[in-house]
Structure 1
């Protein structure tokens, strides 16, 4: 077609010498595969293939529409993550499971993502036999965490953000949180009822404070206790899953934990009548 157009326009046609080199995939397809398809399926094979593909796409779309209400009812959003009940998922047959994953991946990947039978089998075994807290990797940036009766999608790198310094009168961002520190003139018992803020004795604080994530071996003295407790054990007692614990900010004075933000103050930094300086730690907002 192109060479005919060139002749009609009075143009000199030049053939690329590599066009006949069948070591190139494009040439092998053009010279070997396409003539074979034409011989077996007729001259209109491309049109017929396109029609069949269009029918498949429409059928897939109608199937997705039928199952969308079910899939949406199985998934709930929690703090930027998606959680799925395990029991309803295990009741899906192989075909429905494949549609479910296509539905889920369509929100993560811009192109169609087809799951294999091996994946479905491996993931089913994971849900049935893995202990709570275990994770199942799908791709380099996507993990699934089993958490009792549910599993969570986590489309993050899983890395804990680096620590940031917190000065009085300032607000800092750490992960999806913004935390503030301010000095107050007085504090009353009823002011300590909000989970997103704590009042601390500033007499022993080593400024600036440090906001960082959980680290293996961290320990503190939970408010109301007289002995130390591992932060990891505290998270287990509070049923904090492995992904969430990486998102919780810890506020430190020097090497000592002052506050597990939003969860528990350290006994050593509570406000007493003897305190001469009082500060308010506050989670300003979550993003």
Structure 2
């Protein structure tokens, strides 16, 4: 797995021609089917697994949406909706937008804030009062109409990563993305290769890269200590989307499974080149 960082640097930037057939459209897994949430499990802090408190996560007009109209106060009820199975190596693509106003009681930092959680712990192992799953977060932020505010940042609830050859332990780091104001749709992707390499990509531009995701650090509470094995590399995990007190909508959540190609560098190179140039 350690060689994958070298391979991906070569594959994505060497300008080589693809060496296998174009990936078929049906090779993409539609995690969200546009109709219902049957393949997803909800875990909201202070509530048991699969208690979709306040109908927080719902489907309307073909979109997965997060709403708080049945909340009196947010009261730190951070929520996550998990896809039914874990993945190890993949390209995840989401299209999201922020709408409306933050619910009463939401923290100031959570205005126009959501995220795609990667390599999550199994939601069945989360404590009832646990706020965030042990995971990597591709943090999704919307602009406030005035200030620069990057998206596809990295936050690390219960995790650490390696950046520039050194263990990175702060909780969050900004990406190099543009700021996206208003209610516009944004296309964000993340390339995850097991415990080797992760890239955050916004509208086709790579905005953040890190390596060796692993359990460690803080910024998660009320977890089971048996699950938080600090120093353990994260080779796979669940994918989740957040409810952090601001209404957000997702109209696309899809994944291309790269695990079948990890032991064939030539084929992996071709697949990644083709995925890089595909129409969004």
Normalised to the residue count of structure 2, the TM-score between the two structures is: 0.21
Higher strand share: 2
Normalised to the residue count of structure 1, the TM-score between the two structures is: 0.21
Which one scores higher on RCO, CA 8 angstroms, separation ≥ 6?
2
User: Which is higher, the Rg of structure 1 or of structure 2?
Assistant: 1
